[in-house]
Amino acid sequence: MATIKQLQGTLKLTFGIVPIVAGLDKFTNLLTHWVDYLGNNKGMIPFDPLVFMKIVGIIEIVAGIIVLVRPLIGAYIVMIWLICIALELLVGGNYFDVAVRDLVMAVGAFTLAQLTRMETAQS
């Protein structure tokens, strides 16, 4: 049976590495063309959407690093970030499947925060 520490460690690596990879990909667009996810909201951004996505990439990289270093704080940051992305997608009227996926991932990040809190309390 997995321990709290093992479960927390798995989620910590997941929510640390995935945002870093996604953030780095904002500079290469190898996984997808990220600007497309802005949908109709491109006009609301006061500068070039490519620049905006690179800023998003930097935020994601930093969030992933925070998860790896300070998982309790980082998990909440990633959770809020994922909820914001999901809301933007829902408001934009596109990529509902991705919005649902991001909300499920936000639940996973919340779970990481709670497991980290439990693991810390036991130490």
Tens of pLDDT, residues 49-106 = 999 999 999 999 999 999 999 999 999 999 999 999 999 889 888 889 999 999 999 9
Nearest to 74 by CA among 85, 83, 82, 63: 63
The residue length of the chain stands at 123
| Interatomic CA distance for residues 112 and 76, integer angstroms | 9
Name every residue whose Cβ is closer than 8 Å to that of residue 44 and which is 6 or more positions away in sequence: none
First to last CA, the chain: 19
pTM (global) more than 0.85 = yes
